[in-house]
Structure 1
Amino acid sequence: MSIVPVKTPLIVKKMFPNYIWDIATSDKTIYLTFDDGPTPEITNWTLDLLKKHQAQATFFCIGNNIQKYPEIFQDILEAGHTIGNHTFNHVKGWQTKTEDYITEVLKTQAIIDSETQNNTMTKLFRPPHGRIKNSQAKRLLADQYKIIMWDVLSFDWDKSISEETCLNKVLSKASNGSIIVFHDSLKAAKNMQYALPKVLEYYSQKGYTFKALNL
Structure 2
Amino acid sequence: MNIIPVKTPLVVKKMFPKYIWDIPTAKRVLYLTFDDGPTPEITHWVLKTLKQYQAKATFFCIGDNVKKHPEILKDILAEGHTVGNHTQNHLRGWKTSTKLYLENTLTAQKTIDSHIQNSESRIKNLFRPPYGKITNKQGKQLISLGYKIIMWDVISFDWDKNISKQTCLNNVITKAKSGSIIVFHDSIKAQKNMKFALPKVLAHFAKLGFTFEAIV
The residue type paired with residue 185 of structure 1 is S
Cα distance in structure 1, aligned partners of 2:205 and 2:97: 41
Find the aligned partners of 2:130 and 2:195 in 1 and give their Cα distance.
21
Q: In the alignment, what sits opposite 2:175?
A: 173
Quote how far apart the aligned CAs of 1:78 are.
0.6
C-alpha separation between the residues in 2 aligned to 1:98 and 1:196? 35
Q: What are structure 1's unaligned runs of at least 5 residues?
A: none
Q: Deviations over 1:43-73 (max 9, x none)?
A: 0000000011100000000000000001111
Secondary structure, aligned partner of 2:115: helix
Q: Percent identity?
A: 62
Give the SS at the match of 1:155: coil
State how far apart, in whole Å, the 2-side matches of 1:173 and 1:140 are.
29
Gaps of 5+ in 2: none
Residue 87 of structure 1 aligns with which residue?
87
| Mapped partners of 1:172, 1:122: distance in 2 | 33
**Alignment equivalent of 1:205, drawn from 178, 186, 207:** 207
Counterpart of 1:126?
128
TM superposition shift of 1:179: 0.1
Aligned to 2:11: 11
- Read off the aligned partner of 1:199 and give its amino acid letter: V
Shift of 1:113: 1.7
Superposition TM-score, scaled by structure 2 size: 0.97
Question: 1:64 maps to which residue?
Answer: 64
Distance in 2 (alpha carbons) for counterparts of 1:12 and 1:35: 21
Aligned-pair CA distance for 1:121: 3.8
Contact 2:84 / 2:123 at 8 angstroms: preserved in 1?
Answer: no
Q: Secondary structure at the match of 2:91?
A: coil
Distance 2:84 2:123 in 1: 10
Q: What is the Cα deviation at residue 192 of structure 1? A: 0.2
User: 1:38–1:121: structure 2 CA closer, same or farther, 3 Å change rule?
Assistant: closer
Superposition deviation, residue 122 in structure 1: 4.4
